Structures are given as structure tokens and as C-alpha cells.
Amino acid sequence: MTATPLQADAGRPIRPPRSRLLPLGLVVSAAITWWAASDDFGVGFSLGEIIDNLTRGHRVLREVLSPNWAFFPQTVDPLLETFKMAIIASVIGCGVALPLSFLASKVTTPNSVTYLVDRGVLNVIRALPDLLYALVLVTAIGIGPLAGIIALILFNLAVTAKLLSETIDGVDTGPSEAAWAGGASRTQMIRSSVFPQILPNYIAYVLYVFELNVRASAVIGLVGAGGIGFVLQVQMGFFAYENVAVIVAELFVAVFLIELVSIRLRRRLV
Amino acid sequence: MARSPSKVVDGQTRPAPPSRFQSKALALLVVALIVWSVVTIDVDLERLIDLPARLGDSIRRMFLPPDWGYTGRAVEGMIESIQIAWIGTLIGAALSLPLGFLGAKNVSAGPVSSIIRQILNGIRAIPELVLAVVIFIPILGLGPFAGTMAIGIHSIGTLGKLTAEVVEGVDPGPVEAARASGASQVQTLRWGVLPQVLPDIVAFWLYRFEINIRAAAILGIVGAGGVGAILQNTLTFRRWELAGTTVIVIIIATIAIDYVSAAVRRRIIEGGAHRQRADVIEQPELAVT
């Protein structure tokens, strides 16, 4: 055979140049990791400490694994309160998010000033986690579900507006061009050509946010913002881990059921 | 079942519109739930009327003006939160990678992948705060290490699920090519699967890092390190101007990290100039949290 190596190579595409950013990125990541894990500057990560102390948690863990089911009746009302808080906060938060999302998408915003201002405000709201809102609000307006509801509203508003404005960015522009060509005003254009396209996604986000709220209720209650989390906080204060286990199990089941229902609903919608 | 009534329009028979009964019943149920919640929720009307004034008052005390002298202390706390989030994300990433591959139906055996998926779902359902309080603070004591572990373990749930989903979605071509040329199972994964999924997976890690920054900011409330403890202290003592400074530091740091991380994610997914891809996963948020 006389096939030359040259011929074998001829059909191959040229190798792309190696990225110079990749080694740099790896080195930077390694440096951050060393700094953040170190005992002197960072969190003091050590595998040995975990292994040495693994048995220290056994008392708590044993109590958690033997839940006191007699505690269950006392948790029903707080759990219902959690649901009510989640429902109210989802309705208000997602309701307010709808107009804000239209302002925060290039497809539907009337001018760049409202666009930038709206995006800025949403970014700031999104930067704080729900529990910090709850902490500030409980101090400002007192312990109870009201502080929790407002914290959840702010959180829902931020999440829904972000997801929805991105959905609006991605709509098919054909219908809206047709609406413009037919002489529609901006509101009419949104109503007739954008809104029907995003409605299934919007409802899916509302369900998703509701699910997140039930999850979040466990943590926002810790600072006194009502719901099942408040009971959790009290029981943890007493070190009554067998009761804590009941609450965690309930939340587990509640979240699982909501997920099941919302997956079925979403599948029908989207 | 009786045949649905048909209308004759323009000489053609049109099918009757589908029944709206189900959606109407559903809508009614939703409205009833909302009304029930609003009517029975335990909120005083008086407090609701008071609300704007009290909120306005708190905001004024926090931000007009904040105490800039406290910035150093707040930044220290925020840096600790960032460290917790970084190491926590790395722990989650390292542990979720093998679990994600084992949870993918096209890579591992059927029963194994279902069991792994259920475990991942279970981990996902327990909030990091609960993990910190129930497991890691008893083991490791109060402090940032407990918070780091809580975030790391919780992250496994979502990262593992996303990894498994990406692996299940690979193009089978390269995998078949590797098999056809005699690659072992491990070699197939290394050369057929990993190059396809790695950019997406690293992007998920970065996205999780952004989420974990927020989680690490609240862990201090249960004593697991980070800026949360500082905010809680200032609020307990009603030092509103100090709380204001802390809130501003948290907001600026979070937005800055979001921005950098989003830019890196975009670079990883889209590649350099020579490699363009259309399916950029910008916001896996719906699947993540």
C-alpha cells in the first residue's frame, strides 16, 4: 500500500486553539478554594474533624429517627397557617410580578428607562434571601404571619418576575408584529399576542412559587414569622428533637404532595 | 357516551368545542382556597393599617443614613458567607458528579438509577438550615464549618438531579462510536459522555454557587457562620443603622457575584469564538431550587 500520511490527514478539520482562559480559571479556583477552606482565613474545613466527631451527633440523630407522633395534632393548625400564608403570598407576589415582567422585557417595555429601573429594582429585591426579609420584617412589625407573608411576597415577586421576563424575551414575535401592523396599542398588543403565549408558563411559575413557599415556611418561621416553622423553632429551643422530626416529616410529605399535583397540572398546561 | 353535538357552519360540520367543565371547576376551587386563606388568616386589621407607617419608619432608620463605620465588620461576615458557599458548592459538586452518573438511566442499571434518584429527591427536600441544626451543629459545633457541610450536602440533591438529566440527554452518536472502537465502560464515559455534559454541569455548579451565597447569608441565624449572625445581632439590639449597612453589603456582594458568575457561565456554555451553541441554558432556576 502506498497511502501517504498526508492523505489521511487531509480530511481532518483543524484543531481549535487551546483555551488560554481554562488554566487561568483553574488556578484562580484552586487559590480561592485553598483560601476559603483554610483554618486561618476561611471556614476551617477538615475531613478528620468530621470523622472524629461523627458519633457526637448520635443522640440528636437517634431522637430524630424516633419521631413522637403524639405531637402531630399540635402541628395541624400551624401547617394550615403555612398553607394560607403561601397561598396569599403567591397570589399577591405573582400578581404584582406580571406587570413588572412586561416592563422588564425588551419585547414589551415601552422605553429603556422603565426597563433599566425595573430590572435594577428586581435585582436588588432578588439579592436578599427570604429569611433575611423575614428577620427585618419581624423586627419592624412584630412576630406573626403578617411579617412572613410580606417576606414571601417580596421573594415571589423577584423570582416570578425574573423567570417571566425571560419567557417574554423568548416569545414568538410574529403575532406581536401582526398586532402592531394592525394598529394595536402597546397594551392591546401585549393582551392579544404576548400574554396568550406566556400564560401557560406563568401559571407553571405560580405553582412553582407556591411550592417554594411551603418549603420556605420551615425557615422563615425560625425568626418568628408564623406558620409551621415557628413551631419548629420552639421545639428546637427545647431540644425536643423527637418533635422536630415530626415537623420535618410533615413538611416532607406536604412538599411531595404539592410537587405531585403541580407536576400534573404543569404537564396539562405547558 | 353520547356523541357530542355538532354544528353545521358554512355547510361543514364542525366539532363541538371541548368541555370547559374541568377548568371551570378548578378555577372555582382555586378562588375558594384564596378566599378561605384571606378570611381565616390570623392577621389583625389594625396591624395591616399600621403597616405602611411602621415599614416606612424602619426603612428610614436603616438607610437614612446607614452607619458606614460598620462596613468593615459587615464585609468580614459577608466574606465568611462567600467562603461557606464556595466550599459548600465544591462539596456538593464533587459528591453529586458520581451520583448524577449513577442516577442516569442510560448509563447505570435501571434499579440503581431509580434508587439514586429517590435518594437525591430525599436530600433535596430537607432545607440546609434544618440539616445544620439537626445534623452538623451537633457534630461539628457552632461555626462556619457546620454551615459549609449543611450547604454541601443539601446541594447534592439538586446538582445530582440536574447532572443525571443532562447525562440522559446526551447525543448517543459519540457513545456508540466509542463502543464500536472497543472502549471499555469507563473509557466510553470519559470520551463519549463527559465532554458532552461537562460544560452544562459546570454551569450548574456556578448557578448553585449563586444560590448558595444566599443560603450562606442566612445560616448565621442558627449559629452556622456568616453574615446572618451579624444582621440578627444588630436587629436584636435595634441598631437599625448597623442593620442597614449590613443589608447594603449583602445586596452589593450578591449582585456582584451573580454578575461575574453569569458571565463565566455564558462563556463556558457558549464557548469561545470558534464554538457557538444555540441551546444556552440561561436559567435552570425552575429545575434547581
pLDDT at A73 (0 to 100):
85
Q: Which range, A168-172, A211-215, B76-80, B218-222, has the best average confidence (pLDDT)? A: B76-80
CATH number of A67-269: 1.10.3720.10
Rg (CA), chain A: 26
* Per-chain mean pLDDT for chain A: 84
Q: Which range, A30-34, A42-46, A219-223, B89-93, has the best average confidence (pLDDT)? A: B89-93
From B10's Cα to the closest Cα of chain A, the distance in A is: 27
A241 touches chain B (CB under 8 A): yes
First to last CA, chain A: 60
- DSSP of B221-240, one letter per residue? GGTSSSHHHHHHHHHHTT-H
Cβ partners under 8 Å of residue A233, min gap 6: A221, A222, A223, A224
From A99's Cα to the closest Cα of chain B, the distance in A is: 20
- DSSP of A156-200, one letter per residue? HHHHHHHHHHHHHHTS-SHHHHHHHHTT--HHHHIIIIIHHHHHH
B86 touches chain A (CB under 8 A): yes
* Per-chain mean pLDDT for chain B: 83
From B141's Cα to the closest Cα of chain A, the distance in A is: 10
Residue contacts between A and B (CB atoms, under 8 Å): 188
pLDDT at B281 (0 to 100):
43
Cβ of A49 within 8 Å of Cβ of B140? The answer is yes
A228 touches chain B (CB under 8 A): no
Q: Distance between CA A184 and CA A172 in Å, rounded?
A: 17
Is the per-residue pLDDT at A129 higher than 50?
yes
**pLDDT category, B277, cuts 50, 70, 90?**
very low
Which one of A43, A77, A141 makes the best mutation probe of the B interface by having the most chain B beta carbons within 10 Å?
A43
Helix (H, G, I), strand (E, B) or coil at A4: coil
ipTM for the predicted complex: 0.80
Q: Distance between CA B227 and CA B244 in Å, rounded?
A: 13
The C-alpha angle A168, A169, A173, rounded to 5 degrees, equals 85
What is the value of pTM for the model shown?
A: 0.81
pLDDT at B275 (0 to 100):
46
pLDDT at A270 (0 to 100):
61
DSSP for residue B160: H
pLDDT in tens, B17-36: 777 787 788 889 889 999 99
pLDDT in tens, B97-133: 999 999 888 877 778 888 998 888 888 878 888 888 8
pLDDT in tens, A183-192: 888 888 888 8
Q: Which of A167, A162, A163, A149 is nearest to A91 (CA)?
A: A149
Query: What are the structural domain ranges in chain B?
Result: 91-287
> Which of A49, A64, A142 faces B134 most closely, judged by CB atoms?
A64
Kindly state the percentage of chain B with pLDDT values over 90: 25
**Superfamily name and number for B91-287:** MetI-like (1.10.3720.10)
Cβ of B41 within 8 Å of Cβ of A32? The answer is no
Cβ partners under 8 Å of residue B121, min gap 6: B157, B161
Q: Distance between CA B225 and CA A39 in Å, rounded?
A: 14
pLDDT at B79 (0 to 100):
92
Q: Distance between CA A103 and CA A115 in Å, rounded?
A: 6
A32 touches chain B (CB under 8 A): yes
**pLDDT category, B154, cuts 50, 70, 90?**
very high
Measuring CA to CA, how many Å separate A264 from each of A207, A267, B63, B122? Answer: 11, 5, 45, 20
A256 touches chain B (CB under 8 A): yes
**pLDDT category, A153, cuts 50, 70, 90?**
very high
Is the per-residue pLDDT at B141 higher than 90?
no
**pLDDT category, A149, cuts 50, 70, 90?**
very high
Find the mean pLDDT for residues A50-57. 73
pLDDT at A91 (0 to 100):
93
Interhelix angle B194-218/B71-103, rounded to 10 degrees, is: 140
Q: What is the DSSP pairing of strand B12-14 with strand B7-9?
A: antiparallel
Cβ of A146 within 8 Å of Cβ of B51? The answer is yes
Cβ of A139 within 8 Å of Cβ of B238? The answer is yes
In B150-169, the residues whose Cβ lies within 8 Å of chain A are none
User: Cβ distance A156 to A211 under 8 Å?
Assistant: no
pLDDT at B274 (0 to 100):
45
Beta bridge partners, B172, equal none
**pLDDT category, A1, cuts 50, 70, 90?**
very low
B99 touches chain A (CB under 8 A): no
pLDDT in tens, B205-257: 999 999 999 999 988 888 888 898 999 889 888 888 899 999 999 999 999 99
DSSP for residue B169: T
A33 touches chain B (CB under 8 A): yes
Find the mean pLDDT for residues B35-41. 87
A17 touches chain B (CB under 8 A): yes
Cell digits of residue A221: 418561621
Find the mean pLDDT for residues B155-184. 90
- For B210, nearest residue in chain A (alpha carbons): A127
From A4's Cα to the closest Cα of chain B, the distance in A is: 23
Query: What are the structural domain ranges in chain A?
Result: 67-269
In A175-194, the residues whose Cβ lies within 8 Å of chain B are none
pLDDT at B2 (0 to 100):
47
Cell digits of residue B121: 429527591
Q: Which range, A48-52, A264-268, B77-81, has the best average confidence (pLDDT)? A: B77-81
Cell digits of residue B80: 465568611
Q: Distance between CA B143 and CA A160 in Å, rounded?
A: 34
Cβ partners under 8 Å of residue B257, min gap 6: B82, B209, B210, B213
Q: Which range, A22-31, A45-54, A171-180, B204-213, has the best average confidence (pLDDT)? A: B204-213
